[in-house]
Amino acid sequence: MVIHQLVARLDPGDAISNQALSMHELFRSWGFESRLYAFDMDDYGKRFAEFDTEYRKFMHREEDLLIYHFGIYCDNHRYFLESKNRKVLIYHNITPPEFYETFYPEAERLCRMGRELMPRLKDCDLALGDSDYNRRELVEAGFPEEKTGVLPINPPLDKLDNVEEDRPFLRRLEDGKTNLLFVGRVVPNKRVEDVIKLFACYRYGVNARSRLVIAGIHLATYQSALLSFTDRLGLLDAVHFLGKVSDSTLKACYLGAHYYISMSEHEGFCVPLLEAFHFGVPVLAFAAGAVPETMGGAGILFVEKDYPLLAELLGRLDRDRLMRERIVSAQYRRLEEFRTQVFAARLREVIDRFASPGAAGAATARDSEERSA
């Protein structure tokens, strides 16, 4: 059995790409022949994947398994529809298009088309959400409940552990100020303006010795609006938009952060929450989408955005070391459930439903034959 994975795009730092790559490595380590295809990819992606047109020649093979990572509309869904392979859909969630309205019409269109497409993909052997929130959306879209399941994300924490932090940047963060951090794509559903509002209340009302660091690739129109808003609040010298950062700078961000803030109003999983857990940064997050599920009872969740009150809560955490420690401990405990071994076991269960005994071994034998030839 050959395992094919199909994604819209493969590039570093993206949660879907990371997930696909992590599965690709596991499949190979288990002895399966694993192939990865993308509609589009950068040089990094080309090291692991082929363009999706290469998949065509495998479409008729009934013994193979096709895993389609679905997170936005992409023309390569047609391969999934037409393939004779056994089929697994992994739904990473699609941002409701209205978030992109006026900011990015093209993304709005792709998200709308993606959501409209969902019911047509239900003819598969198994549909997995990377959170139960996502799985429920599949059921709402018409997927038979008994054919759905949950396969959580495997956060790429080892990658951050293995890289050395950007020391000059970390030194700058460790200057005695309190650092609030947001990591993620700077796009409208993340409500970065609300993070800035909370920071404004914290800096103007509770602790002037503070800064906000925002790390992540930005959507230019939204970013320009955020810059304008930050300027209006008189905070341009205290809010730092880093744009897309390297793993080394990202690690420095987490190491230098005192709090991680999420005001996002739509999340299918939210990997940065777990990265913050990993680095012992207390998380304050708005309870929206899959965020409560990912947090799993650790960290701080709130259901209303009362900025002065939340700023006061940050002030309390500044002073109350015990409370802070309790939060960090709970976050570490929660993180155990997302370790690679746990993910690998769950993924193996999924694959074993499709693999006939000896399928992996056959691939290993074929691999060694190819190597010796």
Residues of this chain that interact with another protein (CB under 8 A) are: 102-106, 168-169, 171-172, 175, 177, 188, 192-193, 197, 200-201, 203-210, 219-229, 231-237, 239-243, 287, 297-304, 306-309, 311-313, 315-316, 323, 326-327, 330
Backbone angles phi, psi at 253, to 5 degrees: -60, -50
Compute the least distance from the CB of residue 204 to another protein, in Å.
Answer: 5
What separation, in Å, do the N-terminal and C-terminal C-alpha atoms of the chain show? 21
Whole-angstrom Cα distance, residue 218 to residue 199?
19
Pick 238 or 355: Cβ nearer another protein: 238
Nearer to another protein, 126 or 213 (CB): 213
Separation CA 4–CA 1 (nearest Å)? 10
Q: Which is nearer to another protein, 87 or 197 (CB)?
A: 197
User: 336-343 contacts: CB < 8 A, separation 24 or more?
Assistant: 337/152, 337/296, 338/152, 338/153, 338/154, 338/155, 338/274, 340/22, 340/154, 340/158, 343/22, 343/151, 343/152, 343/153, 343/154
Q: How far is the CB of 71 from another protein (least distance, A)?
A: 18
Minimal distance, residue 205 CB to another protein, in Å: 4
In this structure, what are the phi and psi dihedrals at residue 372, rounded to the nearest 5 degrees?
A: -70, -35
Residue type, 236: L
- In the complex with another protein, the residue whose CB is nearer, 142 or 297, is 297
Minimum Å distance from CB 62 to another protein?
A: 39
Name the residue nearer to another protein (CB basis): 164 or 237.
237
CB 319 → another protein: shortest distance, Å? 10
C-beta closer to another protein: residue 84 or 326: 326
d(CA 27, CA 35): 9
Minimum separation from the CB atom of position 287 to another protein (A): 8
DSSP reduced 3-state for 347 = helix
Single out the residue of 223, 155, 186, 221 nearest to residue 15, CA to CA: 155
